[in-house]
Amino acid sequence: MTALLQPAILFGLTGAALVGIGLFAVVTQPGLLRRIVGCNILGAGIFLVFGAVARRGAGAGFEADPVPQALVITGIVVAFSASALAIALLKRLSEITIGEGADAGGPEGGA
């Protein structure tokens, strides 16, 4: 039981659970915002698994490799900026769709 509660294994299992939850949200949710959130959860799970794998060497008595940790930090920054861009595009798409709907169905711009 204590072998299962080691931090590297616990982080790996949690990351795998987050990947599954994020993948489920991306595949099954019809809304674009929910899919963006699902992609963020999926990415967080991948970062957690990658961090756990990078820390595995520290448990064996070796020093932890700093390259995977730097990649995870860079990935977090890139994922944040990609999420901000996706949400901005979704907001603009929503404004265009609502504007076209108001123009087509309004009293002056309609049929």
**Residue 64 backbone zone (phi > 0: left; psi -120 to 50: alpha; other: beta):** beta
- Give the residue with greater pLDDT, 14 vs 100: 14
Asked if residues 82 and 61 have their Cβ atoms less than 8 Å apart, the reply is no
Report the pLDDT averaged over residues 74-78. 94
Helix, strand or coil for residue 104?
A: helix
Average pLDDT, the chain: 84
CB atoms closer than 10 angstroms to residue 41: 19
- Give the residue with greater pLDDT, 77 vs 109: 77
- CA angle at 42 for the pair 81 and 46, rounded to the nearest 5°: 90
**Per-residue pLDDT tens for 24-37?**
999 999 999 999 99
CB half-sphere exposure, 45, CA atoms < 13 A: 18
The pLDDT confidence band at residue 104, using thresholds 50, 70 and 90, is low
Side chain identity, residue 58: A
Q: Taking the CA atoms of 7, 13, 14 and 19 in sequence, report the sign of the dihedral they define.
A: positive
